[in-house]
């Protein structure tokens, strides 16, 4: 566990350093092209540092807002609060803040920068479908991520690297709809704008798999197995999490509207916006989760 914490802090540092260097280089390149000297570099570095600080201190809030999670009080969700508090006691960490995501899909995630500043969010669907023991299994898994500081890496990835993902989705869609729809003025007007979007879309298209790869490198699949095992060490009851995972698997066809490729790695189960089984090709690029069947098998062997 302590190695895990150290490794996560190292990953966070590398991610932030990588982002600063990357943006700095872009700034430098722009400076060279426009021959405006070091201004571009300075500006890019300032932006990079601001982004790094922002994602460190406000990353959890950005993630929570992007999934439309709402904080709930102990009176509103006594069961969830009791379970979160109990398991936090078992883990010897502060009680996380508790959020509910208004979605019917069965899923949950944890975010924050350390156990003193952590939040867990579960979907309304999960809350309704799980009994107490199953919910304990899920919350135990999320608290294991909190303990290991997986939440730190996950949140930084979601906000820092995720910015690129969000941009790529934006440009992709703008380009796609703008290109096919021919909405306004087929003769003139949209010309240069469409061209810019097209170029940006192409760049992002190339960038997306790279970004996906960075996310995959930052958050390994083993982390999920580890959190399963560690969460079960808190609840001391593997069948609870097994039964929860079975229900989640059975309900995985329910689409999640607030899912996106920037936050996909944070969720307990790989979310998909697409109705039915499986996920879209772009979503597959950002697949970071091991199959649920395999997770169940490992839990049952304990």
Partner 1 sequence: MVVAIVVIALVAFLVLLVVLMYNRLVRLRNRTENGWAQVDVQLRRRYDLIPNLVETVRGYAAYERELFEEVTNARARAIDASSVPDQAQAENQITRGLRQLFAVVEDYPDLKANEGFLALQEELTGTESKIAYARQFYNDQVMRLNTLIGSFPSVLVARAFGFTERPFFEIEDPAQGPAQVDFAG
103 is catalytic: no
The minimum distance between CB 236 and partner 1, in angstroms, equals 7
b/e 283-296 (16+ beta carbons within 10 angstroms → b)? bebbbbbbebeebb
Strands 108-114 and 70-71: unpaired
**Closest CB to partner 1 among residues 52, 241:** 241
CA–CA dist 235, 8 (Å, integer): 24
**Closest CB to partner 1 among residues 205, 233:** 233
CA–CA dist 227, 111 (Å, integer): 14
Binding site for partner 1 (CB under 8 A): 78-79, 81-83, 85-87, 89-92, 131-133, 136, 234-237
Structure tokens at 261: 């490729």
Q: Among 103, 134, 142, 283, which one carries the catalytic annotation?
A: 142
**Closest CB to partner 1 among residues 87, 106:** 87
Q: Which residues pair with 118 in a beta bridge?
A: 112
E strand or H helix that includes residue 98: strand 97-101
Conformational region of residue 236, where left means phi above 0, alpha means psi within -120 to 50, and beta covers everything else: left
Rg, Å, the chain Cα set: 21
CA–CA dist 110, 243 (Å, integer): 20
**Closest CB to partner 1 among residues 105, 122:** 122
The minimum distance between CB 25 and partner 1, in angstroms, equals 44
The minimum distance between CB 82 and partner 1, in angstroms, equals 3
CA–CA dist 226, 8 (Å, integer): 13
Report the catalytic residues: 142
């Amino acid at each position: 566990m302590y190695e895990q914490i150290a490794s996560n802090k190292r990953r966070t540092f590398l991610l932030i350093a990588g982002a600063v260097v990357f943006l700095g280089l872009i700034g430098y390149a722009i400076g060279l092209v426009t021959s405006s000297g070091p201004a571009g570099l300075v500006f890019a570095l300032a932006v990079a540092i601001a982004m790094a600080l922002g994602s460190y201190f406000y990353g959890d809030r950005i993630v929570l807002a992007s999934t439309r999670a709402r904080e709930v009080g102990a009176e509103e969700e006594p069961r969830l609060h009791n379970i979160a508090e109990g398991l936090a006691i078992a883990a010897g960490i502060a009680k996380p803040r508790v959020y509910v995501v208004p979605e019917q899909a069965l899923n949950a995630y944890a975010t924050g920068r350390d156990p003193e500043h952590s939040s867990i969010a579960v979907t309304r669907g999960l809350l309704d479908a799980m009994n107490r023991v199953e919910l304990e299994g899920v919350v135990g898994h999320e608290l294991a991520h909190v303990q290991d500081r997986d939440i730190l890496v996950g949140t930084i990835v979601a906000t820092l690297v995720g910015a690129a993902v969000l941009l790529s989705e934006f440009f992709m869609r703008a380009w796609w709809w703008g290109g096919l729809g021919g909405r306004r003025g087929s003769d003139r007007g949209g010309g240069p704008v469409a061209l810019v979007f097209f170029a940006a879309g192409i760049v992002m298209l190339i960038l997306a798999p790279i970004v996906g790869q960075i996310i995959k490198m930052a958050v390994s699949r083993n982390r999920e197995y580890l959190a399963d095992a560690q969460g079960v060490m808190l609840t001391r009851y593997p069948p609870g999490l097994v039964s929860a995972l079975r229900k989640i698997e059975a309900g995985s066809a329910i689409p999640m509207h607030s899912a996106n490729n920037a936050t996909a790695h944070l969720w307990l189960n790989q979310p998909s916006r697409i109705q039915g089984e499986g996920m879209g090709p772009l979503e597959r690029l950002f697949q970071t989760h091991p199959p649920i069947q395999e997770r169940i098998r490992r839990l049952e062997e304990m």
